[in-house]
Structure 1
C-alpha cells in the first residue's frame, strides 16, 4: 500500500513538473552580463524585472546557454547584450529576435566611436617587448576566438554607460509608453546620481594619479582613462590562460624596477599567483571586481559598482 502511494506521488509530481515546463518563462528584460544589467536596472526601476544570463563567477569565453536561459531570452520583452566579440554564447539565440526587442551595444553608432582599440596585446606595451604573445596567453587562435579589435569592457566608462542608459530608456519608451513618467524619473535620477558619483570618484582618485600598480588583466582601461589612472602593466590579456614561468619572472622584475605599490587580482582568478609574485617585496595585494558580482540590481546599482571599484583602487594604493 505504501509503495503504491509513493508511486502515485512520484507520477503526479512528474506531471506537475512537465505541465509547468509548458508555460513560458516571464522575463521582461534580459541582460547577457551583470554590468549591463546594472545599467538597465537603473532605467527599468519599478517598471520591469531584470534577468542576468551569465551567472556570477562564470566566464563569457566558455559559457553555454542552459535551456532555462533560452526560455528567458525567448520570453523577454527586451534583450541587452554586448555583441559576439564579447558574448559568443548569445549570438545564435538572438539571430531570430526582431530589432525592436534587442539592443546589441557594439552596433550602436554613439558607442562605436568611443570604443578603445586593442593594440597587439595591450599588456605588452608595459613590459619587456621580448615577451611573446603566446606567453601572454594570447596566441593567434585565441585572439581570433576571444578578442575583437576593440576593448569590449565598455561598462567601465561612465561616459559610455550614460549613453547606453539613454538608449535603453528610448527603447523602453517605445515598448512601454504607458510608463513614460516613471522612465523619465528613472533617467533623471540616473543622470543626477552619475554627476554626484563622478565628482566623488574624481576627488577620491585625484591623489592616486601617478602611483604605480599592476592589474590582473586588461579590463580597466576605460575607467583608468576616464579618471586619469595609469597602470604599469597587467598580468595577462586572456585571464583564461595560465601564466608561464617566464612571464611571472618578468612581472616580478618589473614590480621591483618600477617601484609598484600594488598588484590587483580579481575575485574569480588565482590570488595565489599574486601572493607568490609579491613575496618578500613591499608591494601590496588588492582586488578589483570588473563585473560587480556582489551588487544587487536596483536604481543605484551602477553607481554602486563605480564607487566600489574606486574604493578598491584606494584601499590598495593608499593603504596605510
Structure 2
C-alpha cells in the first residue's frame, strides 16, 4: 500500500476533534468545534437527528454512529489501516468523524435533491454539497496524490479499476486514503456514501499532472465519469497542457478476463484512443458485431448499449 506524501503526513488539524456522547447532542465545546468545521446549518441538522428526528433503518444507525463514532463496527479497522498508510492519529480521528457525520447528514440531502431538482446532474451536485464530505476533502486532500506516473478513471464496475491498476495506472481506490475507504462498508445504504466518493473523485481529478487513462466498460453519459470527472479534467487541461485523456474500451470475456478493443475489433491487452467518441464507437461496434450472447459477464454492457442506441432511434 502506498505511503502517504511527506507533506500530508506533517499536516495537523486546527483545534481538537469534536467529542460526542452516545445518544445525546454534542456538548457546547463540541458544537463550537463542529461549527468551525462544517458550519452552523450542518450542526443544526445534526443535532436534530441525534435528538431523534428522521427515518428508521440505515439513517437511524448513521445518526447513532455519528454521535458516538467509536461504536461503529469498522472503527478499529479504519484506525489500523490509516496507521499503516501513515496517517497521523489526529487526522484519522477527524476523518472518521467527518465520514460518519457526512453519512448521517446525507439522507436529508438526498431527499432534498429529489424534491428540488429534476436534472440528474443537479441532483448529484446537491447530494455532493454535504459539508462534512467537503471538509473531509480539505482534511485529506494531500492523501489523494497518485503513487504512479499516470492517473486512471473508469466506468463499468470495480473490476475495471483493478484492470487499470494492473496496467500501471492509479485509480482513486489506490490512493492512500481511497485504498482505506474502499475496504469499508460504512453503511448498508449505498446512497448515503456514494456522494462521498463523488466529492473525493472531484478532488482527485484536480490533481492530474500528466496523461489520464480512462477505462470504459460501459458508456453512460449520465455517469459520474462522463458528467463530472471528464468535464473537470477539461478545466485542468486548459490550465496544464501536460494533461491529456487516453481512452480504453474494455470488454469482459466469458472467463472473466478484461481485454481492450482494437480499431480492428480484436481483443488485446492494450488499446488506446485519443477521443471519447472513437473509444465508444469501438466498444459499441464490438458489442454489436462480436459480442457472444452466451457471455453473461458482458451482457449488462451489451444490454445498455442496445437500449441507448434504441433510445436514439438506431438499431443495435
- TM-score (structure 2 length as normaliser): 0.26
- TM-score (structure 1 length as normaliser): 0.26
Larger radius of gyration: 1
